[in-house]
Amino acid sequence: MSKNNLPGVLTGHSLTSCIDEISPQDYEDLTDCTQIATKSADMLCSRFADSFKWLDEYVFTMKYLGWSVFEDAIFTRTRSVITHSVADFLVQSAEGMRDSRQGIAMIDTLDALKPDNSALFSLDKESLMGEGFQVIPARYDSKGFLEIAVFNLELEVTTRKNGFLFWNWEDQDAQITQRRASLKLDRYKLENNKLWIEKKIREIAMKRFELRKPS
């Protein structure tokens, strides 16, 4: 995967941001797993009415598919005031992660998303203009294992706006509540579930937007 070509993907209410050396196979497997986990959680409850229960089911499904929880940090609930745009907040959060490249990857992903009107419209619709959405930075650790951080976010504002990611909330009382789950791929377990995953992904009608940087 070239960082000049495909820095991320949007499926449903989830925006995945990838550091450029993630392999095409890992990219496909990650996207398939997140779609299946989203569908499973949506069948259990509304992601807007009960985000705690929804995320519990999401992580449970990811674990079943072959992802293990690590860092003893399944859910950490924090609240932050938004002084500019949600996009700025996401970049700052990514820059604060252990791998500084994730900040650059998030910038690339957002740069690719911003001019894609179809993807932005879909994200607004799926997230109810930011009421509930996810951002998933992905990278390899020092041992070559694929790891992700699932940030489950809720934008709290008095008036909702289309294109909420890039709206300037400076003059409004805007806050984001987030919970985080840290997951690492067990390739052996995923391969053992591959036939089931392939069957399930064929049953899911979830639109997928490949986010490509302008040439």
Q: Is residue 180 situated within a structural domain?
A: yes
Q: Is residue 197 situated within a structural domain?
A: yes
Question: What one-letter code names the amino acid at 135?
Answer: V
Give the model's pLDDT for residue 1: 44
For every one of its 215 residues, what pLDDT tens digit does the chain have, with 9 covering 90 and above? 443 456 789 999 999 998 867 888 998 999 999 999 999 999 999 999 999 899 999 999 999 999 998 865 566 678 899 989 999 999 988 877 777 777 788 888 999 999 999 999 999 999 999 999 999 999 898 899 999 989 999 999 999 999 999 999 988 889 999 998 999 999 999 999 999 999 999 998 788 998 876 65
Assign residue 72 the CATH number of its domain: 3.40.198
Q: Is residue 1 situated within a structural domain?
A: no
Both tokens assigned to 91: 């970049």
Alpha carbons 17 and 1: distance in angstroms, whole number:
12
Give the model's pLDDT for residue 103: 78
Into how many domains does the chain fold? 1
The domain of 94 spans 8-211
Give the model's pLDDT for residue 173: 87
Give the model's pLDDT for residue 147: 92
Q: Is residue 59 situated within a structural domain?
A: yes
Both tokens assigned to 88: 């700025």
Q: Is residue 3 situated within a structural domain?
A: no
Give the model's pLDDT for residue 37: 96
Q: Is residue 74 situated within a structural domain?
A: yes
Q: Of how many residues is the chain composed? A: 215
